[in-house]
């Protein structure tokens, strides 16, 4: 009880004092997670749309694989990317291990399957509605992909937000590939893990509250945009 109270007070203090170190961590968290969502979206959204519109042998297995990848433990993903990016690994010469870029890659790998699976789900209803009309226009499944992505944009915003939520809450993978280097690769979640292990539970909790506030703010912003735009589109 006392700890919780201390945490809330500390969280307010962190936000109100605009502590530069905390702001830098918040900024990096946002940049890493938003970049990861963007990159994962470039792959996951078209892939999900393609799975929604095409019928090919092995499609069911692809969906099962995708759903399994959704459950990929972040630590495992982090480890794989660590081994790839390590100087002794195949992508070592890029020198990306322990950099924010490595963290973006790890988060993108983690959330791309989530985005693809959720996109498939969000667009398959739309495809059911559009399929015949698009075929009448002479548009095959491949041409339908960008159409569905655009016409499903409001539902996809929710998909992107789910990806962002998962990315920004993720700690296992970014800890491994980023190294939690102060002032360079320390993000909200790894800072929380660090403060927890230093036994400063109120500070850890306060950082957690700040993280939640950010995620809530991003969601509120996106939902407001979505609301305004979808009122327009009907």
List of residues contacting other proteins (CB under 8 A): 31, 34-35, 38-39, 86-89, 92-93, 95, 97-101, 104, 129-130, 132-133, 135-139, 143, 147, 150-153, 179-182, 184-185, 194, 196-201, 232-234
153 or 212, CB closer to other proteins?
A: 153
CA-CA distances (angstroms) from residue 108 to 77, 182, 184, 221?
A: 10, 22, 19, 22
187: its two tokens: 């993000």
Which residue is it, tokens 């830098």?
24
39 or 162, CB closer to other proteins?
A: 39
Cα separation, 212 vs 155, whole angstroms: 23
Q: How far is the CB of 180 from other proteins (least distance, A)?
A: 7
Q: How far is the CB of 95 from other proteins (least distance, A)?
A: 7
Q: How far is the CB of 87 from other proteins (least distance, A)?
A: 4
46 or 89, CB closer to other proteins?
A: 89
Q: How far is the CB of 114 from other proteins (least distance, A)?
A: 20
DSSP letter for each residue of 56-78: -TTHHHHHHHHHHHHT--HHHHH
36: its two tokens: 């990861």
Cα separation, 101 vs 106, whole angstroms: 9
67 or 147, CB closer to other proteins?
A: 147
């Amino acid at each position: 009880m006392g700890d919780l109270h201390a945490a809330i007070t500390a969280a307010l203090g962190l936000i109100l004092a605009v502590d530069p170190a905390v702001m830098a961590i918040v900024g990096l968290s946002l940049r890493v997670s938003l970049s990861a969502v963007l990159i994962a979206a470039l792959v996951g959204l078209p892939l999900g749309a393609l799975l929604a519109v095409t019928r090919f042998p092995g499609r069911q297995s692809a969906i099962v694989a995708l759903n399994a990848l959704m459950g990929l433990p972040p630590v495992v993903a982090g480890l794989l990317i660590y081994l790839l990016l390590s100087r002794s690994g195949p992508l070592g010469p890029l020198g990306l291990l322990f950099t924010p870029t490595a963290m973006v890659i790890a988060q993108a790998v983690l959330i791309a399957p989530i985005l693809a699976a959720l996109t498939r789900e969000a667009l398959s209803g739309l495809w059911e509605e559009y399929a015949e009309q698009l075929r009448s226009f002479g548009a095959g499944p491949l041409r339908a992909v960008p159409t569905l992505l655009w016409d499903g944009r409001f539902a996809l915003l929710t998909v992107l937000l789910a990806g962002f939520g998962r990315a920004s809450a993720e700690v296992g993978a970014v800890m491994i590939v980023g190294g939690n280097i102060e002032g360079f690769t320390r993000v909200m979640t790894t800072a929380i893990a660090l403060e927890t292990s230093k036994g400063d539970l109120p500070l850890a909790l306060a950082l957690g509250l700040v993280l939640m506030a950010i995620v809530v703010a991003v969601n509120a912003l996106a939902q407001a945009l979505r609301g305004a735009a979808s009122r327009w589109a009907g």
